[in-house]
């Protein structure tokens, strides 16, 4: 979508401000997605730890 807005700008149909807003919104969405993935993986690790299966889930063996 940022590419489309950039093209609109190049054709005089948008402003630099609007292009920057689209870029900012895109980066914020990417950041939220990454944060959600991190939170999900942390929750999975906590669940495995509570279940007592954290090491098994990571194929870690203590002999």
pLDDT of residue 57: 85
**What integer best gives the mean pLDDT of the chain?**
93
Q: Is 40 exposed, middle or buried (CB count within 10 Å of its CB: 0-12, 13-18, 19+)? A: exposed
Query: Which of the two residues, 62 and 36, has the higher pLDDT score?
Result: 36
What is the Cα–Cα distance from 53 to 46, expressed in whole angstroms?
10
Give residue 59's pLDDT band: very low, low, confident or very high (50, 70, 90).
Answer: confident
* pLDDT surpasses 90 at 1: no
Tens-digit pLDDT profile for residues 37-54: 999 999 999 999 999 898
DSSP string of 6-59? HHHHHTTSS-HHHHHHHHHHHHHHHHHHHHHHHHHHHHHHHHHHHHT-HHHHTT
């Amino acid at each position: 979508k940022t590419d489309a807005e950039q093209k609109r700008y190049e054709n005089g149909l948008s402003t630099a401000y609007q292009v920057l807003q689209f870029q900012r919104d895109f980066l914020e969405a990417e950041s939220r997605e990454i944060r959600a993935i991190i939170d999900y993986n942390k929750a999975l690790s906590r669940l495995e730890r509570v279940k007592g299966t954290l090491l098994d889930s990571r194929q870690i063996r203590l002999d």
